[in-house]
């Protein structure tokens, strides 16, 4: 151990805890009983914040898939057979290195292919009638067709990998697993502390960079209602308006006094989803629809797009802000910044690797507000996490639970995450105990007076 924090100099420790005044860094396996009495009350207090947000990365899906004995979503880079494949790989590596993400992955390759195809379309659409220009358009059209096919093939493979992970999780959660109740308790123990806030408080806003539907599926199993920007039943359509929609109910026998419904969260999928489609709406304009794709659908399901590059709406990690100007990407990040960058806001991140430059910038802007706080739960202490902490420079506003012990979802749920905050009985019990227990000073024995003398033995 050469540094107490992952943003210090030297090699960071394997495990790190920084929760208020409780700080620990060690390469040894932590003892839950030693840290729980510090971490759980600290997280319980933070989860009572006025504005609570949860940012879920791919680590959440990986943890659940591992517990379900299924494959995680594979983001490793692919090998291409098309022309100029080395240029695509070089562009992907340069993009990843530029924002400090390390080696390039599948998302970097997809972005590079999209940029190449966009440039080739410009050449194909040229109006120059010269012979040289015509030859250039012919060459660009052939290359565009080749790389469009390569992109469709890559996205189809990626889509099937996601559905394979969903199928394993679905089988595990519905009973086709050795211990389905354990997996259900683990998922419930993670989501319910955020979705069970008292209804009078602002709803928890859940943000995720994942393309799968694990959060939605788990919410359905737990009875958690989700509010997002989609409107409709048969073919939900993404809406740009932000109306502050919420859910209420009328208590029996009381009219005109609606109350907030409990167990409601807002959900924003920052990078899109496997069931988002760009289609022509009734008005003839392009719109974003949510396809009727079941969770863990078969690879030949009719709702799968035939041309993923034209229909499937997924947005790889942004390398520059200009990529976030597209619809509906701009609306998604507007929701993110509006929910996070406000006083008395708290955001907890789990499984997020700090590989999206736009998300990192919003998080740094949030920490510039003194009353905000950030909780980072990470399986690894890699260079991206350390770079973010160094750039943010707000150690007092950041709680850290870093390492394989704290990043393990089952260990986190069993030992450190607070129980659902809707348990008012606990708060009433604490209040009653505080009222009935006399102050510490009154419980002490009275101090001896000056004229008091110890009894002496009689002779």
Interval 129-172: pLDDT, tens: 676 678 888 899 999 999 999 999 999 999 999 999 999 999 99
The per-residue pLDDT for 446 is 53
**pLDDT greater than 50 at residue 94:** yes
% of the chain exceeding 90 in pLDDT: 52
Q: Are 215 and 222 contacting, i.e. CB atoms less than 8 angstroms apart?
A: no
| Confidence bin at 322 (pLDDT 50/70/90) | very low
Q: Are 387 and 100 contacting, i.e. CB atoms less than 8 angstroms apart?
A: yes
Which of 118-127, 160-169, 242-251, 439-448 is predicted least confidently? Answer: 439-448
**pLDDT greater than 80 at residue 275:** yes
**pLDDT greater than 50 at residue 293:** yes
Instruction: Please name the helix (run of DSSP H) or strand (run of DSSP E) that holds residue 346, with its range, or none.
Output: strand 345-350
DSSP 322: G
Mean pLDDT of 434-453: 58
Contacts of 22 (CB under 8 A, 6+ apart): 35, 38, 39, 42
The per-residue pLDDT for 2 is 38
Q: Quote the mean pLDDT of the chain.
A: 85
| Confidence bin at 87 (pLDDT 50/70/90) | very high
In whole angstroms, give the CA distance from residue 328 to residue 248. 28
The per-residue pLDDT for 311 is 87
Mean pLDDT of 229-243: 86
Mean pLDDT of 235-252: 84
**pLDDT greater than 90 at residue 452:** no
- Give the model confidence (pLDDT) of 343-393 as tens digits: 999 999 999 999 888 899 999 999 999 999 999 999 988 888 999 999 999
**pLDDT greater than 50 at residue 4:** no
CATH tag, 15-74+179-427:
3.40.50.1220
**pLDDT greater than 80 at residue 444:** no
CA 322 from chain centre, in angstroms, equals 22
Most confident of 165-179, 198-212, 321-335, 397-411: 397-411
pTM confidence score: 0.86
Place of tokens 């030297």: 10
Backbone angles phi, psi at 136, to 5 degrees: -65, -40
* Cis preceding linkage at 328, omega within 30: yes
Which of 10-14, 38-42, 245-249 is predicted least confidently? Answer: 10-14
In whole angstroms, give the CA distance from residue 343 to residue 365. 12
Map out the domains of the chain as residue ranges: 15-74+179-427, 85-157
Q: Count CB atoms within 10 A of the CB of residue 245.
A: 12
DSSP 416: I
Mean pLDDT of 70-85: 88
Q: Are 246 and 227 contacting, i.e. CB atoms less than 8 angstroms apart?
A: yes
């Amino acid at each position: 151990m050469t540094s107490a924090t992952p943003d210090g100099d030297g090699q960071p420790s394997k495990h790190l805890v920084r929760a208020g005044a409780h700080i620990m860094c060690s390469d040894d396996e932590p003892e839950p009983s030693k840290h729980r009495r510090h971490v759980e009350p600290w997280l319980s207090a933070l989860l009572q914040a006025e504005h609570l947000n949860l940012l879920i990365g791919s680590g959440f899906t990986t943890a659940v898939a591992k517990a379900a004995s299924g494959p995680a979503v594979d983001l490793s880079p692919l090998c291409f057979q098309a022309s100029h494949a080395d240029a695509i790989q070089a562009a992907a590596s340069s993009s990843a290195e530029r924002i400090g993400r390390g080696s390039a992955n599948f998302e970097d390759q997809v972005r590079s292919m999209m940029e190449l195809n966009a440039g080739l379309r410009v050449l194909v659409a040229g109006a120059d009638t010269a012979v040289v220009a015509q030859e250039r358009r012919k060459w660009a059209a052939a290359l565009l067709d080749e790389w469009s096919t390569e992109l469709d093939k890559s996205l189809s493979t990626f889509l099937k990998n996601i559905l394979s992970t969903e199928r394993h999780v679905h089988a595990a959660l519905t009973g086709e697993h050795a211990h389905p109740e354990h997996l259900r308790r683990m998922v419930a123990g993670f989501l319910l502390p955020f979705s069970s806030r008292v209804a009078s408080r602002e709803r928890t806003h859940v943000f995720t960079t994942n393309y799968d539907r694990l959060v939605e599926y788990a919410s359905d199993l737990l009875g958690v209602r989700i509010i997002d920007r989609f409107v409709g039943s048969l073919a939900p359509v993404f809406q740009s308006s932000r109306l502050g929609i919420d859910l209420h109910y009328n208590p029996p026998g009381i009219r005109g006094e609606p109350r907030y419904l409990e167990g409601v969260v807002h959900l924003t999928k920052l990078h899109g989803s496997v069931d988002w489609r760009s289609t022509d709406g009734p008005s003839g304009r392009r719109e974003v629809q949510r396809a009727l794709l079941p969770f863990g659908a078969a690879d030949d399901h009719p709702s799968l797009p035939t041309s993923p590059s034209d229909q499937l709406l997924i947005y790889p990690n942004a390398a520059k802000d200009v990529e976030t100007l597209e619809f509906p990407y701009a609306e998604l990040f507007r929701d993110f910044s509006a929910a996070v960058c406000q006083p008395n806001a708290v955001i907890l991140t789990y499984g997020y690797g700090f590989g999206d430059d736009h998300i990192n910038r919003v998080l740094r802007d949030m920490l510039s507000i003194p009353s905000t706080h950030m909780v980072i739960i990470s399986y690894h202490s890699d260079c991206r996490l350390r770079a973010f902490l160094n750039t943010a420079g707000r150690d007092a506003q950041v709680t850290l639970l870093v390492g394989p012990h704290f990043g393990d979802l089952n260990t986190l749920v069993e030992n450190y995450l607070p129980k659902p905050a809707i348990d008012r009985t606990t708060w009433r019990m604490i209040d009653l105990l505080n009222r009935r227990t006399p102050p510490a000073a009154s419980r002490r024995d009275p101090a001896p007076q000056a004229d008091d003398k110890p009894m002496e033995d009689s002779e």
